Structure 1
Amino acid sequence: MLTISQVSRAFNVTPRMLRHYEKIGLLPGKRIDDYAYRVYDEDAIRRLQYIIVLRKLRIPLKEISAILNDPEQVRLIEIIQENINELNIEITALNTIRDVLKIILSRLSIGKEAKLKLDLLSEADILNLIEPLSPSRIPFKEECSIENLNKANEVLDKLKNVRIVLLPPCTVAAYHFVGENPEETVGDAVDKFVRESRLYQLKADSRMFGFDHPSPSPERQYHGYEVWVTIPDDMEVPEPLVKKSFKGGLYAAHTIVFPNFHEWEYLKKWVEESDKYTADYIEQEDDIMGGCLEEHLNWVYSSHMHWPENGIDGNIDLLLPIKMK
């Protein structure tokens, strides 16, 4: 038996990701009497290895669930064939792109030597070649090892755009917990507060933010999570929640679909490479993600509605504090 922390370190996946796999039925976890940790047995570890390989092959979680629930492996064969067909199309497109670029490069070189001004993008043979291509960038190369597939998947996931948002000062009800499953623990406490206080009726624009406090680390037995939900300034909050003031600020924002928290790295890189903005991290003794926030969109409304099965999709905004250069 391995604990969730041991599995997280061994396979380089976050505890939050493991809990998500368990929540959607992909990965069975167990609890042992008189033992506080969630644990995984040998069968679960093999299943996790299978999931990781399939994810690296760009197979969605929904398809992975269908594969794992098909003992005859018929669906796996179908999905692999579908992926091969898609890859063949991408590889053909890449070959075409490479050939067109070679033609353009060759004609540019000739034109430069002959001091000719060429309008290459209107030449008929080039237009005919590129007509069938999709305008989106195709990341695959002809030789697709597992490592290349993984890198290609990261390219697909990189940020297409980042929003710049100004969060206004506000009053929040906060709850902080350090221990096993801190995200679920604080979420349950704030969910109860939202419903019992009828917060949505008092403040229909209420928002919910969260952040690691402290972040997961091999040196720590537990990590923590803190949640803020915005409330009217004159509202009192019951224990264990506490009332806090948030001064707001300027943030670079990027929306993700749960649980793609690895895209924090892409947002950080975007800020690092920005000509206009630089990171404005908060330096404190306690590790609180440098002032970064995760805004759980539509969370307060969903809580107010008792989490309807066909409710609004709850995406997450990653918010990184910035300032003008």
Structure 2
Amino acid sequence: MNRSVAIQEMSEQLGLTSRTLRHWEAEGLFQSGRDDSSGWRVYDEHALASIRIMAVLRKMDIPIKEIKSVISANSVAGLSKVIVNKVNSIKKQREEIGGVERQLNRVLEYLERQNEGKLDLDDILTETEAVFMSSLTEPHVFKIIDLPPMRVAFHIVVDVSPEDKAMGPLMDWLKSANLLGTARLFGGNMKPMPSSAGKPYGYGMCATIPEAVVVPEPFKEMQLPGGLYAMLGSSDDIGGSWKSLMNQLSQSRKYRSDRGRLCLEEHIRNDHPEGSGNLYDLNLLEPVKAK
């Protein structure tokens, strides 16, 4: 018997946010329908199966591209192949961790040779940096960028799934006003902040606009102040990417968060045609100031 499940129910059943479900759908992993009475997204049995597979494999940190091949092939061989790839990736990570351990031991050996006399931090840090920088790189570290002040039109919606409702009307207006090709797009959570699945929260979407453009209702306008931001490209796990950015920033010796400005998510248009992948990538932007 066919059964459809609403996005709120799916979020609660699997502990997934509506943003994650929309992102997976945009990647072409399944398709949703719309409930005629509420307008909410609903998922049929095929989509439900795909989402369950996706949820399990993402917990194993299997890349979306490989999960898409599993869903497409619908075979034991396809699933075995991606798991073998993951096992090989873990083996490689283990080798890299072994390399880190060897580097740490080199630093300890240097420190043991310096066990007499006064602690000279400059010499020790110089030696430590030389050891580590010769072999270690961090692929997912934040960058510091300087945004200019920007005039933006914005739209805020409070709903159990507000992103589409905040973004859709604004995008339609930008397209009709021939502004879509030049606008920079930023989004972010607003009060009330997300708390648990199925509860309403706020999301605001804004777009940069020229000074001469008149902003129509229901949109508002404001001036983003710009300034320094720590920027990190987001994975499909947006919440996890934010945690990674904030953890890195907490360990920075040069920068700390600036709570006087809004954190942002910049939506970057990519080169994928519609229907073949996510139309936007996300750069996470946390306002910062020098320590």
Provide TM-score, normalisation by structure 1: 0.66
> Counterpart of 1:177?
157
Tell me, in whole angstroms, the C-alpha distance in 1 between the residues paired with 2:162 and 2:197: 17
Give 1:28 deviation, angstroms.
Answer: 5.2
Task: Please list the CA deviations of residues 20-56 of structure 1 after superposition, one character each: whole Å capped at 9, or x if unmatched.
Answer: 2233343454544434543457775554343222123
The residue correspondences of 1:41-52 to structure 2 (distance < 5 A) are: 47-52=50-55
Tell me, in whole angstroms, the C-alpha distance in 2 between the residues paired with 1:241 and 1:196: 14
Match of 1:209 among 169, 186, 192: 186
> Counterpart of 1:295?
266
Specify the SS of the correspondent of 1:291: coil
Are 1:242 and 2:208 counterparts? no
> Counterpart of 2:63?
60
Specify the SS of the correspondent of 1:19: helix
Give 1:107 deviation, angstroms.
Answer: 6.9
Tell me, in whole angstroms, the C-alpha distance in 2 between the residues paired with 1:249 and 1:106: 40
The residue correspondences of 1:221-240 to structure 2 (distance < 5 A) are: 221-240=199-218
- Structure 2: which amino acid aligns with 1:227? M
Tell me, in whole angstroms, the C-alpha distance in 1 between the residues paired with 2:99 and 2:224: 53
* 1:171–1:245 contact (8 Å) kept in structure 2: yes
> Counterpart of 2:14?
11
Alpha-carbon spacing, 1:94–1:219, altered in 2? closer, same or farther (3 Å): closer
- Structure 1: which amino acid aligns with 2:66? E
Tell me, in whole angstroms, the C-alpha distance in 2 between the residues paired with 1:37 and 1:312: 20
Q: Which has the higher contact order (CA 8 A, sep 6+)?
A: 2
Match of 1:81 among 59, 79, 84: 84
- Structure 2: which amino acid aligns with 1:23? A
- Structure 2: which amino acid aligns with 1:278? R
Give 1:254 deviation, angstroms.
Answer: 1.6
> Counterpart of 2:29?
26
Tell me, in whole angstroms, the C-alpha distance in 1 between the residues paired with 2:175 and 2:290: 39
- Structure 2: which amino acid aligns with 1:316? L
* 1:236–1:243 contact (8 Å) kept in structure 2: no
Alpha-carbon spacing, 1:136–1:68, altered in 2? closer, same or farther (3 Å): farther
Q: Which runs of 5 or more residues in structure 1 are unaligned? A: 114-134, 138-157, 283-289
* 1:166–1:251 contact (8 Å) kept in structure 2: yes
- Structure 2: which amino acid aligns with 1:169? P
Tell me, in whole angstroms, the C-alpha distance in 2 between the residues paired with 1:34 and 1:165: 45
Task: Please list the CA deviations of residues 181-216 of structure 1 after superposition, one character each: whole Å capped at 9, or x if unmatched.
Answer: 422223222222222212267xx4x32111122332
Tell me, in whole angstroms, the C-alpha distance in 2 between the residues paired with 1:273 and 1:29: 41
The residue correspondences of 1:91-106 to structure 2 (distance < 5 A) are: 91=94
Are 1:255 and 2:233 counterparts? yes
Specify the SS of the correspondent of 1:210: strand
Q: Could you tell which deviates more after superposition, 252-261 or 311-320?
A: 311-320
Specify the SS of the correspondent of 2:214: coil
Give 1:249 deviation, angstroms.
Answer: 3.0
Tell me, in whole angstroms, the C-alpha distance in 2 between the residues paired with 1:16 and 1:77: 29
Tell me, in whole angstroms, the C-alpha distance in 1 between the residues paired with 2:275 and 2:32: 24
Q: Which runs of 5 or more residues in structure 2 are unaligned? A: 116-134
Tell me, in whole angstroms, the C-alpha distance in 1 between the residues paired with 2:106 and 2:12: 48
Alpha-carbon spacing, 1:178–1:110, altered in 2? closer, same or farther (3 Å): closer
- Structure 1: which amino acid aligns with 2:207? V
Are 1:70 and 2:50 counterparts? no
> Counterpart of 1:130?
none
Give 1:58 deviation, angstroms.
Answer: 2.8
Tell me, in whole angstroms, the C-alpha distance in 2 between the residues paired with 1:198 and 1:63: 37
Give 1:263 deviation, angstroms.
Answer: 0.8
Specify the SS of the correspondent of 1:315: strand
> Counterpart of 2:145?
165
Tell me, in whole angstroms, the C-alpha distance in 1 between the residues paired with 2:107 and 2:150: 56
Larger Rg: 1
Tell me, in whole angstroms, the C-alpha distance in 2 between the residues paired with 1:292 and 1:265: 13
* 1:159–1:266 contact (8 Å) kept in structure 2: no
The residue correspondences of 1:261-272 to structure 2 (distance < 5 A) are: 261-272=239-250
Alpha-carbon spacing, 1:259–1:86, altered in 2? closer, same or farther (3 Å): closer
CA RMSD, aligned part only? 4.0
Provide TM-score, normalisation by structure 2: 0.73
Give 1:294 deviation, angstroms.
Answer: 0.8
> Counterpart of 1:119?
none
